[in-house]
Chains A and B, each alone.
Chain A
Amino acid sequence: MTHIEKYFVPEPSRYPIFGSIALLLMATGAVFWMNKVSSGPLILALGFATLVYMLFGWFGQVIRESEGGNYGSNVDVSFRWSMGWFIFSEVMFFAGFFGALFYVRVIALPDLSSLDHQQFLWGNFSAQWPIKVSPGHIVDPFTPIGAWGIPAINTLLLLTSGATLTWAHWGLLNNNRGQLKLGLFLTIALGLLFLSLQIMEYAHAYSDLNLRLSSGIFGSTFFMLTGFHGLHVTIGATMLIVILLRVMKGHFKPDHHFAFEAVAWYWHFVDVVWLFLFVVVYWL
């Protein structure tokens, strides 16, 4: 009789309920904060702390289960499917915002500057991108950010980080731990450098260019798209750091390291989103 592996089903766990409480607190705190109730920030912080506790506990347990050899090849396949579908959901999230950008540029703005609107609503508004004057004149003049300064450098940084991450993966596959660590370290450094430049760029936009989140539809789409991307880079970099720490503790084997691969997939996904951003937000 051939022996086969059993699909690992975890025991009852208290982490999910902590996650739920965390989100309840965070949502309440955020609502309060936005509506100027003074306890808002505190509740939000409390919720965030609970979330961090939950994430540490839950992922810590997953890591222990994984290193304890509980996850057989079946579970591994499950992880692969689920990570793929998760990234697909993220793609659709960004697609919503990209769709908004295309809709505004291709349909809404030309419509707003059409004859009817000019006559009855918006004076002599004429469509151009980036909009200089908004239809209702509610936007202060601003200067958009060109593609070939920091954004181009950032593109290079992210593309390079994709390469260093793949190089690290080769190191892992060939059991070359030095290469693995160095590659991961470089990837994280490049990611953090990207984030610092992005923060500098935001500061520059706010203080020198007068480009703000409230700069009409241009500011809205610009900051939402780059902002959510930046958030994803932050999450990706955090995950990479966790992976690096695990590598230093001796985790992962050439044939058993899906956590590494999942983070790598995520990182490449963030990379690809950036390429789209670079082209349609900064360049065109």
Chain B
Amino acid sequence: MSSIAHDPTHGHEHDHHAHHPSGVMRWITTTNHKDIGSLYLWFSFIMFLAGGVMALTIRAELFQPGLQIVQPEFFNQLTTMHGLVMVFGAIMPAFVGFANWQIPLMIGAPDMAFARMNNWSFWLLPVAAILLMGSFLAPGGASAAGWTLYAPLSVQMGMGMDMLIFAVHIMGASSIMGAINIVTTILNMRAPGMTLMKMPLFCWTWLITAYLLIAVMPVLAGAVTMLLTDRHFGTSFFNAAGGGDPVLYQHVFWFFGHPEVYIMILPAFGIVSQIIPTFSRKPLFGYASMVYATSSIAILSFIVWAHHMFTTGMPAAGQLFFMYATMLIAVPTGVKVFNWVATMWKGSMTFETPMLFAVGFIFVFTMGGFTGLICAITPIDIQIQDTYYVVAHFHYVLVAGSLFAIFAGTYYWLPKWTGHMYDEGLGRLHFWASIIFFNITFFPMHFLGLAGMPRRIPDYALQFADFNAIATVGAFGFGLSQLIFLAAVLKCVKGGQRRPQRSGTVRTDSSGPCPRQRPTIPSKLHRLSSKRCWLTGGPPWTGDQTSAPR
């Protein structure tokens, strides 16, 4: 490929002059952001199913008191691996998949800034997944130290723990490379005229997420490296007998861990901020305040980590500081929720599947935010730390938050990606099944936690039996509902109704599927308006009430 100048009027020819591998090799060697985005999304879905099977096994065991299905050691491996697989395998890669598909289209870039490295960022993930899942087969089984891998437990585990440590290293490398790619793409490859404050909000939230990733993934790498040397090379980082401190692990881990939870929610905020205005047929309320709120969340997220450690015996001054700092985060989060609601206010709203998920997100995520605030209050948290209340909190923010946003984004952009409409009926069914079963599963956990049921145990006292049975029924319902999602996606990918044409001012080529080839239009030249297809990432509904399916 040459760097010879192109005449922009010939911009629509595609770069198909080179020989491109086909079949499997196409996917292994691809440098195309759309291919890589799809790879990320499918990988994420597979991991979602794997983690889901683990979760259902956990719930099956907890259906009744007593031990029925799995051994306690294996139960602990399941809770550990469920958390790790969902966090690192399902949620994070899904958002990177969205970033890959949408960011270049939204900012008018020909591809990601480093297309080859982009490929490597993805292809490191299967390697990490092999190590992660393979650890079940290691002597002694997978790690059973909980997804947080607290020392000293994690110092004592077998070979599976070492595999996990290297898997974390590799996923970290993948995330850092991916994040650097995204930051560089956004900072350097926007179309002329697209200032930062004109970017779609999804790009903003990803810019800030990528910054968080670059800042904290190396810290996690450091934490697990110290674990590794404590395990095999005689260091004493987390060993009080040698002058170290197991609590040090918790500090380092949560310095990563709290920003990490924002890594998993900020892109979700971005997706929801794209969808709500579309289906309210109003511009986003308070765009600038959204940007500032996202930035403040990111900055504050570095100074709240010890709210996960209120029971470790911190000085009162420390507890107070972390309590107030945590509660402070609720302010920018509240700004966001306010803005979404204000966007919908007096809009001419319709409720297609993406919007259903987005509104569901606002509703249920906010509940998770409130339980977070309750957890942040030190005297309360000392009661509910390590109980099912915390499990309820983070599933409200992660499942009804991050995961629902992923569903919303998938339905929203599938027509753009495939050129076909998804089946609206299936989509709505998926939404209603998901939100109802989600609440059946996780709402009772609040009561369990308040009543004192500890998390991460395979057996429990009799008085917890009823709520646990309800939660298990809900979990299986939720799990099965996800097959509707698979069906809807497959149906859409394979064909189905053509995507509706947009009427009026927009050029017809913008309503077709996004072709796999890149536009050869150089990023620094073409004017914003001439490339709507690439810039809007346009859903068929945008600004066009008449063609919206009802």
Contacts and interface: CB of A to CB of B under 8 A. Distances in A.
B490 interface: no
Contact of A9 (B31, B239, B241): B31
Interface string A1-32: 10111111111111111011101100110110
Nearest to B8: A1
A135 B167 CA distance: 33
A108 B244 contact: yes
Contacts of A69: 3
Given A10-B116, A24-B131, A70-B1, A131 B243 contact: yes
Contacts of A207: none
Interface in A66-114: 69-72, 74, 77-78, 81-82, 85-86, 88-90, 92-93, 95-97, 99-100, 103-104, 107-109, 111-112
B130 A24 contact: yes
Contact of A100 (B30, B127, B241, B252): B252
Interface stretch (A146-154, A193-201, A212-220, A238-246): A212-220
B170 A103 contact: no
A86 B179 CA distance: 10
B26 interface: yes
Contacts of B525: 4
A99 B222 CA distance: 10
Contacts of B169: 27
Nearest to B122: A16
A224 interface: yes
A134 interface: yes
A81 B183 contact: yes
Nearest to B26: A12
Given A20-B124, A34-B162, A100-B237, A4 B243 contact: no
A217 B243 contact: yes
B180 A9 contact: no
A93 B219 CA distance: 5
B10 to A, nearest CB: 11
A240 to B, nearest CB: 22
B189 A78 contact: yes
Q: On chain B, which size bracket covers the interface?
A: 35 or more
Nearest to A227: B229
A4 B5 contact: yes
Interface string B206-217: 000000001111
B503 interface: no
A70 B3 contact: yes
Contacts of A218: 243
B235 A213 contact: yes
B88 to A, nearest CB: 15
Interface stretch (B105-113, B271-279, B533-541): B105-113
B193 interface: no
Nearest to B318: A107
Contacts of B232: 34
Contacts of A20: 120, 123-124, 126-127
A136 B218 contact: no
The B interface, classified by DSSP as helix, strand, loop or mixed, is: helix
Interface string A122-140: 1000000001001111110
Nearest to B15: A9
Contact of A86 (B131, B180, B245, B523): B180
A6 B6 contact: yes
Interface string B239-250: 111111101100
Given A9-B1, A96-B222, A136-B242, A74 B237 contact: no
A93 B166 contact: no
B237 A220 contact: yes
Nearest to A12: B29
Most B CB within 10 A of own CB, among A34, A112, A217: A217
B300 interface: no
A6 B3 contact: yes
Contacts of B340: none
Most A CB within 10 A of own CB, among B5, B189, B523: B5
B221 interface: yes
B184 interface: yes
Nearest to A11: B18
Given A5-B3, A104-B243, A217-B236, A82 B115 contact: no
B355 interface: no
Contacts of A70: 1-3
Given A5-B5, A20-B124, A74-B523, A103 B235 contact: no
A139 B245 CA distance: 15
A108 B124 contact: no
Nearest to B5: A3
Contacts of A111: 245
Contact of B252 (A9, A14, A27, A99): A99
A35 B179 CA distance: 33
B147 interface: no
Nearest to B522: A6
A261 B217 CA distance: 26
Contact of B241 (A24, A92, A134): A134
Given A12-B30, A100-B248, A17 B123 contact: yes
A104 B248 contact: yes
B253 to A, nearest CB: 10
B236 to A, nearest CB: 5
B226 A8 contact: no
Contacts of A138: 236, 241-242
Interface string B158-187: 110011001101100100100111011001
A64 to B, nearest CB: 13
Interface of A: 1, 3-17, 19-21, 23-24, 27-28, 30-31, 34-35, 58, 69-72, 74, 77-78, 81-82, 85-86, 88-90, 92-93, 95-97, 99-100, 103-104, 107-109, 111-112, 121-122, 131, 134-139, 212-214, 216-221, 223-224
23 contacts: A1-B7, A5-B5, A6-B520, A12-B20, A17-B123, A27-B163, A34-B162, A69-B3, A74-B523, A77-B188, A89-B176, A93-B221, A95-B218, A96-B255, A104-B248, A134-B242, A135-B240, A136-B239, A139-B242, A139-B243, A217-B236, A219-B236, A223-B235
Give the 4 A-B residue pairs with the shortest CB-CB distance, closest first.
A136-B241, A96-B222, A214-B234, A3-B5
